Amino acid sequence: MNKERSDSLKDGRRSSKNGNSKLTVIILIVFIVMITGAGLGFLTASIHTMPSLKDEIRPAASSQIYDVNGKLINTVHSVENRVPVSINKIPKNLQNAFVAAEDARFYQHIGIDPRGILRAVWSNITDRGVSEGGSTITQQLAKNALLSQERTLKRKIQEAILALQIERQYSKNEILELYLNQIYFGQGAYGVQSASIVYFNKNVEDLTLAECAMLAGIPKSPNYYSPFNNLKAATERQATVLDQMVKYEFINSSTAIQAKNAKLRLAIRSSQTDTTNQTASYFIDYVTQYLIDRYGADAVYKDGLKVYTTLDLDMQEAAEEAMKKLPNIRTDSNGLQQPQGALVAIDPRTGYIKAMVGGRGNDQFNRAVLAERQPGSAFKPFVYLAALEGGMTPSSMIEDSKISFGNWSPMNYDEKFHGSVSLRTALEQSLNVPTVKIANQTGVDKPLYYAQQMGISTLVLQGSINDRNLAMSLGGLTRGVTPLEIASAYGVLANQGVHVDPITVIKVIDRNGKTLEQVTPKEKAVVNERSAYVLTDMLRGVINNGTGSAANIGRPAAGKTGTTNDYKDAWFVGFTPDLVASVWVGYDSGEYLNGITGGTLPATIWKTFMQKALAKIPSRDFIRPNGVVIEPNPTPVLTEQPADGKQPANPLTPDGKNSKTPNQQDDDSRPVDKTLPPPPVKSDKNTAPPPPPKKTTETDKKNNP
């Protein structure tokens, strides 16, 4: 009887399980049907809303760029410089260069390339980022000629279907001809013929292999890779294209080497590119290229976008007026006034770029964002920040005395030593020897770590020549820094240790009123707010008592001067709680500035700009964190002690004294800023990125207010 009950229970459970399994299968089938139906519905809708190959392109509409207050800055007119040419006039080298760079299997695929997509996915995974795209030339033609630049699944489906239709309707040569006449090359040039005239002043059929490779590299980012704007980047991209041509056997290695070494003769830019009298010309170019990279040239020049930016026209006018203080020493071979200069101003709380001047206003090389120049002593705050984070205080003493590192013995501006000095005094007077000793004590990795965290992306941490040496403590870097990034880095101090990525565009609206983009600030706490405040207080002393006295604006402000070897680069970077700005002055060719130092002209330009830019903003002090106590400076006055042993004459004028050149006799009382770093250090050690600093202990907290 019990057995019968047991069997009955087992049968019941088995029946229940079978019922549950059937129900699960039914639910799964229904779910698959629903998903399939939704997918087919979406695909059908995408196809029905897809433009026909016979559709005409909508009438072009100009895009408008506004400042942060809604004032119109500029209208980007929908004028195309395009001269179509037949494929027979386009050199085979140019055709092959584009195929090698953009779509190596162009002649094998049917419009879409599954192998190319898989290769791109694998490349992106192994490179940990999007390093290669999967779109074919045919897909790019469909997108540029018939579709918008929006990054949606619907657009990608339409792009793929149109590419298949194009491949059925046109031959490969016809597709390549349409593509090469369609793409945008920057400088207002559409198509290879117009680009050939703009960049080389010759017809496309007359281009050399080197010129073909240069042109083929530009469309990836027309502003950045334009040889007019950034010859170094354009040349590097040209070499990449030539390497691709070798890889896919269009040319051999020796031919590629000859092309890489060939000297290019660029065309003289026409007066159409002269933006001398255009307000915020560099900023407009910067924003325009951002939009082109994100939405495509057609969207910018034809789709009537409304672009709301971070620029403040009043501050921009103040910046352009201040930069008129640059002297006109000479005109170079490109017709540009020298020396050049750059100014960037950022709201440290939002990252909004409020003003940008990238040069003298008559060229398109934006020095504010593209020029990597040596920062000199403007890099020293990162060393002192590492010291503060490591437990030292502004009152901590460091011995200013002779020391050698190998065959290098750093010296101060006056070729003298000053005995025991506080960290505050060493930074205010920009003493070199104490700074090097501090960097040696903290280790070179910590200053580099903080510089990176605060926004400096140009540091070289790997390879036989890198920045992981004591030269960096005096601003002797492998590559240098840009005015934009060093301004952003100093903004961390103004913003209580929080870094906010620089922003230029707040919102983009299309011609139908649809919001395409709404940007919000990206914040990251990277420095202890107590250390940020203490370092800020030390940098206030630079303006009040030290090398930056010419930048005093009569309200709470902090900053640092910087002047590099033999006066090739002069900087002033400073900030208030509401605005941070960097000023750079130098020759494009790296010539000597003949006595201009960070504490003179750049500080004066910074002061002129800040006084006008902040005129309508109430003065306020930096926020002091709870518990922070600022001790009196134990060494407010430097004492001079002769150096031990006879030192070689220093040809440079370091921080603290003037060079007393004939042109500077009136400025003898004004400290200037000079450094003398050793040459870059070769290292065979493993050069991994520097580690983060050690966690703050309770003892550190007590010693680090």
Residues designated catalytic = 102, 377
- Name the one residue in this structure whose structure tokens are 């090739």: 568
Interior angle at CA 441, CA 437 and CA 447, nearest 5:
90
Alpha-carbon gap, residue 684 to 688, rounded angstroms: 12
> What number of H helices and E strands is found in the chain?
22, 22
Number of residues that make up the chain: 705
Alpha-carbon gap, residue 9 to 73, rounded angstroms: 82
- Name the one residue in this structure whose structure tokens are 């200069």: 341
Residues 6+ apart with CB under 8 A from 132: 119, 120, 123, 124
- Name the one residue in this structure whose structure tokens are 């009887």: 1
Alpha-carbon gap, residue 21 to 23, rounded angstroms: 5
Alpha-carbon gap, residue 184 to 196, rounded angstroms: 12
The bridge status of strand 498-500 relative to strand 523-525 is antiparallel
Alpha-carbon gap, residue 548 to 560, rounded angstroms: 6
What's 503's DSSP letter?
Answer: B
Kindly report the number of other CB atoms within 10 A of residue 111's CB atom.
21
**DSSP bridge partners of 306:** 64, 509
Kindly report the number of other CB atoms within 10 A of residue 471's CB atom.
24
The bridge status of strand 419-422 relative to strand 397-400 is antiparallel
Residues 6+ apart with CB under 8 A from 102: 137, 140, 216
**Residues 527 and 696: beta-carbon distance below 8 Å:** no
Nearest to 296 by CA among 145, 519, 135, 100: 145
Alpha-carbon gap, residue 243 to 249, rounded angstroms: 10
DSSP output for 439-498: HHHH-THHHHHHHHHTT------SSSEES-SGGGGGT--SS-B-HHHHHHHHHHHHTTTE
Nearest to 562 by CA among 510, 489, 649, 648: 489
Alpha helices in 127-272 (DSSP H): 137-146, 153-169, 172-182, 191-200, 209-217, 231-247, 253-261
Alpha-carbon gap, residue 693 to 449, rounded angstroms: 8
What's 263's DSSP letter?
Answer: P
**Residues 668 and 592: beta-carbon distance below 8 Å:** no
Residues 6+ apart with CB under 8 A from 136: 103, 105, 106, 109, 111, 112, 113, 116, 163
Per-residue HEC secondary structure of 291-313 comes to HHHHHCHHHHHHECCEEEECCCH
